[in-house]
Amino acid sequence: MNKKQVVTRFPPSPTGTLHIGGARTALFNWLFALHHNGKFVLRIEDTDRARSSKEAIDSIIESMKWLGLDWDEGPYFQSQRAEIYNEFIERLLSSKKAYYCNCSPDELERKRIEAKERGLKPKYDGKCRELGLGKSPDAVIRLKSPLSGTTRFKDLVKGVISIENEQLDDLILQRSDGSVTYHMAVVTDDIKSGITHVIRGDDHINNTPRQILIYNALGEPIPQYAHLPMILGPDKSPLSKRHGATSVLAYKEMGFLPHALVNSLARLGWAYGDQEKFTVQELIELFSLDHVGKSSGIFNMEKLLDLNAKYIREADDGNLAELLIPFLTNLGCSNLSREKVKGALRTLKARSKTLLEMAQGALFFFKEIDYEKQADERFLIPEVLEILKDLLLDLKGAPSFAQEQLENIFSIFLERHQIKLGKVAQPLRVALTGKTVSPGIFEIMEVMGQEMVIKRLSNAISHIKSKKGP
């Protein structure tokens, strides 16, 4: 007999952006499906019309694409599937597994309060369960849940979980306005998509027995469940903005590479020995729910920054240039030459933790500079004027601006003046970049090219002369 194809799903609610917790859930479902040569379905749970928005949907889809989590089916939208839900509701009604209930909200609230006062669980008392009521304007449809016994399932992460059925009431499947409730929609969608594995956060554990009861009432096979431990900050409290950005697109804007974030997300609750760094292909080949821990994953921004820095250092210069150009553009740079961007990033990639940091560090290559006050006062001083003027003449006559040629020119220049490089390097660095800290002086001169170097050095000489007065 052929083994059933693995099908997983990711069903975000579009009431906000995709956050780290949701992205980790999406990643684990994606990896599990690919590991088993299965299918990954994207479903948008937009039944909450008041809180759902197109902006949130667009943001979620952009986040998924940026992370590289491509889906095989979807996106399906729950708001467009009322007809399918109604078919399943009819199945339950016709098999007497569901019934109409016309108890008013006020009556239910009164009974809930009375139950609490008597120390009982505030659940529906089944008043309409056996009345055989028909459809009416204010009626809801409830599931006829078993009154005794136990609902048990083997969670692929947590182990066996069970709950006594008497703890569960006859949950509402369809509201009086005709809309279906969360549990009914989820089960229907999972059945229609042939979902075999439901991998989700452990905040959904309490939903699982209720959904299993709906599967049983419909006579449908129950998927396997895996509930992932929640993500905590380094201080062991629930992950929040004070631990760093929580929205996936915020990490994109901060200049993280998508693979660095994917790698970090994979390690939140999952491990493969002591290995920290994985290619996407390795993640697909190695991923298993057996290696998902029962304890919470700890998100650490410093570790993510270090990992991102490693991926930047290893990145192909051409690919990195394509990623860096939008950051430079956002910082006001225009008419960018791809080759010059590649040259600039080569001088910075060894010391940059994010693309944004790299872009900020590269601005002096592409925009007019201002001298930092302290750098100006300390290094652009009359005492270096004659040296810089002489250096300018040598650089104007340089046959090429390759690093080796520049090193040769400086060697002759320093010998002639009987000075060390330190005497001229910092004034020159400030003249070219406006700052006292930059990549190597010959590196940046080669990337800038002869024309820009001569122009900036000339400007610095004029600036120093203006300090001396007429």
Q: Which residues are catalytic?
A: 241
Both structure tokens of 67: 């992370």
- The residues facing 77 across adjacent strands are 44
Both structure tokens of 13: 């609610």
d(C-alpha 72, C-alpha 74), whole Å: 7
Q: Is the Cβ–Cβ distance between 171 and 75 less than 8 Å?
A: no
The single residue listed with the structure tokens 């760094």 is 277
d(C-alpha 26, C-alpha 8), whole Å: 9
Distance of CA 416 to the CA centre of its chain: 57
DSSP structure class, residue 413: H
Q: Is the Cβ–Cβ distance between 349 and 312 less than 8 Å?
A: yes
DSSP structure class, residue 142: E
Q: Is the Cβ–Cβ distance between 32 and 197 less than 8 Å?
A: yes
Q: Tell how many helices (H) and how many strands (E) occur in the chain.
A: 18, 12
The per-residue DSSP string of 437-450 comes to --S-HHHHHHHHHH
Report the C-alpha dihedral over residues 51, 54, 56, 58, rounded to 10 degrees.
Answer: 170
The single residue listed with the structure tokens 């001396």 is 468
Q: Is the Cβ–Cβ distance between 52 and 17 less than 8 Å?
A: no
d(C-alpha 46, C-alpha 16), whole Å: 11
d(C-alpha 38, C-alpha 352), whole Å: 38
C-alpha distances out from residue 228 to 194, 199, 265, Å: 21, 7, 12
Which ranges of 128-195 would DSSP assign to H, the alpha helix?
182-192
- Report the SS3 class of residue 211: helix
Which ranges of 36-97 would DSSP assign to H, the alpha helix?
54-67, 82-94
Q: Is the Cβ–Cβ distance between 347 and 433 less than 8 Å?
A: no
Both structure tokens of 302: 């410093």
Q: Is the Cβ–Cβ distance between 418 and 443 less than 8 Å?
A: no
